[in-house]
Structure 1
């Protein structure tokens, strides 16, 4: 394997699919981007290796500052979300998406380089104090970093199909409870139809662990006509049995379908092969999330 091949992330076929979807310049009077593939390869390589932007091999990717600026711009204008939506649309047209969706979250440690920004008091719900950040970029309060048992952490929430390929990505602080994020994760599922028509947002079934089994979540899934495959919580079982006949019947639970929920854990195992995702070095949640979306896009391109 040559040095150039070792640093190459995309195959020629994969790059041909996404190149037309990437912005070619910064404005009407700006020059078109040069060596766009080299820059994007540098973005991916940085997260794979978990190195500083300035440490990117200049002979392969050009100046690290240029690579960072391109990533920052693409993260702010939702470029990678549009690319992922296009890839998902192609998969949906090929009937390659199984809509039995598994949802879960995983906690990642935030490096001290990611936490040296002014953050709000998580208990007071104050807004972010990060400077020069336009409101339209939707940077969450606290930059998606919270304090949990492991210290300062961030959490990645995934919704994946039955083969562990991501359909939605949400970033929150590591202290956030999985159950309260369910609606936000479901809202992030948006798969355009290649032939036109309404964007698909509703799975056939949702597979989660007990953390998502609140009455509010179950009622929401029922109202949307989504089959809930969620084991009943122990305290809910005890309360129901304590009430006797008034407690009603136990909710339906498909144990056979639930066995496939582990695909979401496998998707996290793939994400954490990227050292820059297993440990968060990014100050901004939007740039960190954009990298997680890139990893999801590559998962689908390699299907």
Structure 2
């Protein structure tokens, strides 16, 4: 197989009907859809500049503009949603989900746009560019965080980006709000997992209350300061929250998911100036993971 081979015929057959050019889009039809989509994937996999994408994928300007369009008009997200529906219908989605984030350094070529720091990213609209471009200054320098919900086998369900210095707990509600897997035919989308596994960063009263009110099992350990505070209060401190130590061992799937993500070099290091396109690349990586999981058989 050539180094530039990206999608199998079966994988392309799955996503091709979901692209705007195949869905009755008005105006001039897109040319060479497969070649352009594979050029986008190739660029993120190799971590090269858009101008350096091999000519066999077409003009680099077309590849960049198409990715910018698909990142902003929900195309990548709608394709991921369709694949999740197929997977859930087959019973392949493990609803014991895990949550975590990973920090990725921002390259100097991705940080030269003016930005309003400290404003926080626009979580309410995933398809509008935030004022800070989801870039913040953490201990390692300028960076971006990818926050993820993954199923029990480590496949991504929800992906959000935020500045690197931001905490994990404040993003939890936004991740849960985006968890929606539609059903085939009538019926509401499924939004409630069986359990949520998270590390100590997610041990807060608000998160535990949110999960308890929705009937979701929380598998989250308490940090030592919270344990000490409860003990110091004596009988008024209440009971310690339930924690299944054996089940918590399954949380490592989210760490393995990030290892898989970072095999695409342009995700391990952020070269994108726009948070919109960087998140679009992450969603495209999620699409490729689910394409592999579903196989070529319809």
TM-score normalized by structure 1? Answer: 0.92
Alpha-carbon spacing, 1:293–1:187, altered in 2? closer, same or farther (3 Å): same
Partner in structure 1 of residue 151 of structure 2: 161
- Residues 1:36 and 2:36 are matched in the alignment: no
Separation in 1, partners of 2:121, 2:285:
29
Partner in structure 2 of residue 132 of structure 1: none
Per-residue CA deviations over 1:151-204 (Å, capped at 9, x if unaligned) read 100000110011100000010000110011110111121111013210111111
Alpha-carbon spacing, 1:29–1:12, altered in 2? closer, same or farther (3 Å): closer
**How far apart are residue 236 of structure 1 and its match?**
1.1
Partner in structure 1 of residue 223 of structure 2: 233
**SS state at 1:6 partner:** coil
User: Which residues of 2 match residues 203-242 of structure 1 at below 5 A?
Assistant: 203-242=193-232
Asked whether the 8 Å contact 1:25–1:33 carries over to 2, the reply is no
Partner in structure 2 of residue 7 of structure 1: 4
Separation in 1, partners of 2:210, 2:25:
45
Partner in structure 1 of residue 258 of structure 2: 268
Q: Which moved more, 1:29-38 or 1:211-220?
A: 29-38
Q: Output the aligned Cα RMSD.
A: 1.8
Per-residue CA deviations over 1:199-230 (Å, capped at 9, x if unaligned) read 11111110000000011111111111111000
Per-residue CA deviations over 1:92-111 (Å, capped at 9, x if unaligned) read 10011111100000000001
Separation in 1, partners of 2:24, 2:183:
29
Separation in 1, partners of 2:190, 2:111:
37
**How far apart are residue 27 of structure 1 and its match?**
9.1
Among 16, 19, 32, the alignment partner of 2:16 is 19
Stretches of structure 1 lacking an aligned partner (at least 5 in a row): 129-134
**How far apart are residue 278 of structure 1 and its match?**
0.4
Separation in 2, partners of 1:74, 1:31:
16
Alpha-carbon spacing, 1:24–1:285, altered in 2? closer, same or farther (3 Å): same
Separation in 2, partners of 1:50, 1:161:
27
Alpha-carbon spacing, 1:127–1:197, altered in 2? closer, same or farther (3 Å): closer
Among 270, 275, 284, the alignment partner of 1:280 is 270
User: Which residues of 2 match residues 113-262 of structure 1 at below 5 A?
Assistant: 113-122=109-118, 125=119, 137-262=127-252
Stretches of structure 2 lacking an aligned partner (at least 5 in a row): 294-298
Asked whether the 8 Å contact 1:50–1:275 carries over to 2, the reply is yes
Q: Which moved more, 1:25-34 or 1:242-251?
A: 25-34
Per-residue CA deviations over 1:111-152 (Å, capped at 9, x if unaligned) read 111110111131xx2899xxxxxx993212301100100110
**SS state at 2:276 partner:** helix
Partner in structure 2 of residue 131 of structure 1: none
